[in-house]
Amino acid sequence: MKGILSLAYKLLVNDKAKFSALLVGITFAVFLMVAMTGLFAGVLRRGSATVINLGAPMWIMDPAVQTVANTIGMPDYVLDAVRSMDGVEYAVPVYSGGALVKMADGVYQAVSVVGLDDISLYGRPPLLEGRIEDIYGENAFIIVKDTEYPKLENPPIGTEFELNDHRGVIVAIANAASNSLFGVPTLYTTYRRALQYIPNPRFTISYILLKPKTPADVARVEQQARRLGYLALTREEFIGKITDFYMFHTGVGMNLLIMTVMSFIVGLSISGQTFYTFILENLEKFGALKAIGAKRGELIAMIFFQAAFTSLTGFGLGVGLVSLVLCLARLRLPDYAGVIAWWNLYSALVMVVVIAAVSSYVGVRKVLHVEPFDIFRG
């Protein structure tokens, strides 16, 4: 069998034009599939940026909330009720909303404001510059240094601005695990200052962040929240809810899915047609092998090896190419959201395996029906 596979490899790479065409087709298909699904993965990650950055194990919210940006206020008594639930170690409120900032030169910029619990500052971001204690100072805000940071003119510590006719001061610069999807800078402050600076409806608690005492208490907390009329979700469940919203209730998911399917069809058609042409041009060689005693199983193994080798090589080249393009795009376009996650690599690999299987099937049918007599007669 080793000799048969070695012969299959030599037959494959000997025709450099056909081999190159096969690699180009599969590489291009993998590139498009991983790029499209990677862009979708990046959009989903940025859509869940607040959930990722705050890092709370569980969230309590109004049942009508669809995404973390779609906040619906809860009354103060809900916080007291949550803190008294069985299985809750601690619970804190958090404010999440939007505002308009006026810089010293008169430029206006929309921002996202996160108000942290005044006592614990739970969910505070890791600081790059400044001290977290300074957030208790008068008019103090922390700015996140992410891809949107330049939109506020790269403000250093001490920069002053206006927020709804209130004076604000940057007292620290923070880092964030995930950038925002909506293209606006993020400011952190205390919960009470956020309520004081930003007009709000009657109910002001955007979310309640809590930690269950044990993993076994998660189901109990969710049940108690339902009896209270609210929804309790773990961090992963909330991210999944946001993912479902962008996938099924917006055009983002369906459009990217269509592009991915088109990429798969392109790769399948190019590789299938090219591999079929390759088989036709080498049909006399397979007929000769059959005439000198090559078994059906050996011929099938040769074709499967050729299809698998070409597909996996194209997969590797495609992943390498898309990784290079993503790196260059991030250097040139800081707002580019594309990432490479395990699931889009796995999806692309599954599609490549399907391409290899279809190409092999086409080749096997042709080779098994060839007769040595027809080859030698020609």
16-31 pLDDT per residue, tens: 777 787 788 788 878 8
The DSSP secondary structure of 67-90, one letter per residue, reads: STTS---B-HHHHHHHHTSTTEEE
Of all residues in the chain, what percent carry a pLDDT higher than 90? 37
Q: How many CB atoms lie within 10 A of CB 103?
A: 16
> Is the Cα torsion angle 194, 196, 197, 201 positive or negative in sign?
positive
Confidence of residue 349 (pLDDT cuts 50, 70, 90): confident
The whole-number average pLDDT for the span 331-348 is 75
**Could you read off the pLDDT of 219-248 as tens digits, one per residue?**
999 999 999 999 999 999 999 898 888 888
Report the C-alpha gap between 265 and 45 in whole angstroms. 27
Report the C-alpha gap between 81 and 149 in whole angstroms. 38
Angle formed by the axes of helices 283-291 and 342-368, to 10°?
Answer: 60
* CB 154 within 8 Å of CB 188: no
* CB 157 within 8 Å of CB 172: yes
* CB 35 within 8 Å of CB 325: yes
The whole-number pLDDT of residue 340 equals 78
List CB contacts of 236: < 8 A, sequence separation 6 or more.
Answer: none
Q: How many CB atoms lie within 10 A of CB 138?
A: 9
Per DSSP (E only), the strands in the chain are: 58-61, 88-102, 108-116, 127-130, 140-144, 160-163, 166-174, 186-190, 207-212, 231-234
The whole-number average pLDDT for the span 265-283 is 71
3-state secondary structure of 141: strand
List CB contacts of 256: < 8 A, sequence separation 6 or more.
Answer: 36, 37, 39, 40
3-state secondary structure of 248: helix
Confidence of residue 212 (pLDDT cuts 50, 70, 90): very high
- Closest by alpha carbon to 51, among 149, 147, 181? 181
The whole-number pLDDT of residue 375 equals 55
**Could you read off the pLDDT of 247-267 as tens digits, one per residue?**
887 777 777 778 777 777 776
| φ, ψ of residue 88 in degrees (nearest 5) | -95, 120
Report the C-alpha gap between 180 and 143 in whole angstroms. 13
The whole-number pLDDT of residue 2 equals 67
- Closest by alpha carbon to 116, among 55, 180, 29? 55
The whole-number pLDDT of residue 373 equals 57
**Structure token digits, residue 153:** 């003119």
Of all residues in the chain, what percent carry a pLDDT higher than 70? 92
Buried b / exposed e over 236-252, threshold 16 CB at 10 Å, is eebbebbbebbbeeeeb
> Is the Cα torsion angle 130, 135, 138, 139 positive or negative in sign?
positive
Pairing of strands 140-144, 166-174: parallel
Look at 94 and 357; give whichever has higher pLDDT: 94
The whole-number pLDDT of residue 189 equals 95
Give 232's DSSP letter: E
**Structure token digits, residue 33:** 């599939």
**Amino acid identity, position 237:** E
The whole-number pLDDT of residue 267 equals 66
Q: Is the pLDDT of residue 63 over 80?
A: yes
The whole-number average pLDDT for the span 354-370 is 71
Pseudo-torsion of CA 173, 194, 240, 217, nearest 10°? 100
> For the chain, what are the domain ranges?
2-46+251-377, 75-229
* Total-model pTM: 0.75
Q: Which residue blocks in 15-68 are alpha helix, DSSP H?
A: 16-47, 49-54
Q: Is the pLDDT of residue 62 over 60?
A: yes
The DSSP secondary structure of 184-213, one letter per residue, reads: --EEEEEHHHHHHHS---S--B-EEEEEES
